[in-house]
Homo-oligomer: A and B are copies of this chain.
Amino acid sequence: MKVVCVIGVGLIGGSFSKDIQAHYPEVKRIGIDTNDHYLAEALKLGVIDEIGHLEDVALADLVFIAIPVDATLKILPQVLDLVADHTVVIDAGSTKASLCEAVQNHPKRRHYLSAHPIAGTEFSGPSAAIAGLFKGKTQIICEVEQTAFKLQEKALEVFHALGMRIRYMNAAAHDVHIAYVSHLSHISAFMLGKTVMEKEENERDIFDMAGSGFESTVRLAKSSPAMWAPIFKDNKTAVVAALSEYIDNLQRFKSLVEANDFEGVYAQMDQTNRIKDILNGLTHQNK
């Protein structure tokens, strides 16, 4: 590889670009973004080697798109229009079905590899980029059979260099599952933060009483609305279904408390304690 274009030089794109430099020091990394402030910051921090424009993707061996999903939906067909024969275009969006659908009849569909790296933090922008962010993390690849075999190989070589575990999924199944393990967690945290902040408006001392448990549960409420609103829009059906099941569970728990059925309350928590083993599995996997 000689040239990699990173569209979106924030947390995910910036981290990818840092890893590209570490594993492919000969590669020139061109950053493309609608946010000039981010571009200047990324250049200053060494997250990219130079600032470019959309047309520069024609020079790239690999294009990595890490911008909000609604923006990806618009730009992906334009990128495919521009790229050369040997170029693979990878995105990192948190939803996959609408992207795959948007380019299913594009003449250069086989240049696109639809991916979702399960990695990130609650921070955003080039300063949030972390070298090694993807090491040991899962890369979910959707509709892999739609990507040209040689370009699959090129992408996989990069993912392996970054230390990622690869999982293949159907795009629709990805979107339903991710609504539960990712999108719902974010809504849960945002609304918990909102509920407590509303109470706090009249009760100034309330946060003085908050410990690490609250901090951990509400952490994702720091996440970027510019990234998350388009995700909820794009994955509306699955998000509404997951949220409905969550609200039903909360309602049932509330009904048990109201009915003084504390054996029932105990049983619900006791059953859910099994999450310990599952999370231990996750921790091992993420190491």
Query: Cβ of A232 < 8 Å from any Cβ of B?
Result: yes
A196–B181 CA distance with the chains assembled, in angstroms: 7
B249 touches A194 (CB 8 A): yes
Q: Given the known A-B contacts A262-B229, A273-B221, are A247 and B245 also in contact in the complex, defined by CB atoms under 8 Å? A: no
A253 touches B209 (CB 8 A): no
The number of chain A residues with a CB under 8 A from chain B is 96
B199 touches A245 (CB 8 A): yes
Residues of the B chain whose Cβ atoms lie less than 8 Å from the Cβ of A262: 229-230, 232-233
Query: Cβ of A23 < 8 Å from any Cβ of B?
Result: no
Most buried by B among A169, A221, A230, A285: A221
Query: Cβ of A1 < 8 Å from any Cβ of B?
Result: no
A243 touches B253 (CB 8 A): yes
Query: Cβ of A128 < 8 Å from any Cβ of B?
Result: no
Q: Given the known A-B contacts A233-B262, A246-B250, are A225 and B273 also in contact in the complex, defined by CB atoms under 8 Å? A: yes
Label chain A's interface by main secondary structure. helix
A218–B181 CA distance with the chains assembled, in angstroms: 10
A270 touches B208 (CB 8 A): no
Residues of the B chain whose Cβ atoms lie less than 8 Å from the Cβ of A38: none
Contacting chain B: which of A58-66, A75-83, A183-191?
A183-191
A31–B12 CA distance with the chains assembled, in angstroms: 51
B209 touches A272 (CB 8 A): no
Residues of the B chain whose Cβ atoms lie less than 8 Å from the Cβ of A193: 272, 275
Q: Given the known A-B contacts A254-B243, A275-B222, are A180 and B196 also in contact in the complex, defined by CB atoms under 8 Å? A: yes
Query: Cβ of A167 < 8 Å from any Cβ of B?
Result: yes
A232 touches B195 (CB 8 A): no
A273 touches B209 (CB 8 A): no
Residue of B181, B199, B250, B273 touching A180 (CB-CB under 8 A): B199
- Interchain residue pairs with CB less than 8 A apart (27): A177-B199, A177-B206, A180-B196, A180-B206, A181-B206, A182-B211, A188-B192, A188-B250, A190-B253, A190-B272, A193-B275, A195-B242, A195-B246, A198-B249, A211-B286, A212-B286, A214-B282, A217-B219, A217-B220, A229-B265, A229-B269, A232-B257, A233-B260, A239-B257, A240-B257, A243-B254, A243-B257
